[in-house]
Amino acid sequence: MGDGAYPGDEAVTEQAFDTCSNDFTSYVGVDTEGSHFDVTIFAPSQAEWNTGVHTAACVVFYPASDTIGSAKGVGAGMPQVAG
């Protein structure tokens, strides 16, 4: 997410969300609007940033249930539901 001074909560969250949304499309094969999956982010807080953590994490998940396998390349298809 770059170096330098902490850009603020809103800027960090926005940058992480934009990056994760773009990565979601590349990874899953469609954007979040066309997928059964969703994405959430974990962005560094100011305290984390100040210790050198400048990386956000993107998590792809199926909100309706637990799944088996990967979301990679699933596109608009249904995930394999656990159990």
Measured at the CA of 14, the angle between CA 9 and CA 11, to 5 degrees, comes to 40
Total of domains in the chain: 1
Average pLDDT over residues 48-76: 93
Residue 74 CB partners (closer than 8 Å, separation 6+): 28, 29, 35, 37
Domain-located, residue 1:
no
Please state, in angstroms and rounded to a whole number, the distance separating the CA atoms of residues 48 and 38: 25
Percentage of the residues of the chain whose pLDDT score is greater than 90: 82
User: What count of other Cβ atoms lies within 10 Å of the Cβ of residue 64?
Assistant: 11
Percentage of the residues of the chain whose pLDDT score is greater than 70: 100
Domain-located, residue 83:
no
Average pLDDT over residues 53-76: 92
- In tens, the pLDDT along 37-53 reads 999 999 999 999 999 99
Which range of residues forms the domain containing residue 33?
9-67
Q: Taking a C-beta distance cutoff of 8 angstroms, is the pair 59, 42 a contact?
A: yes
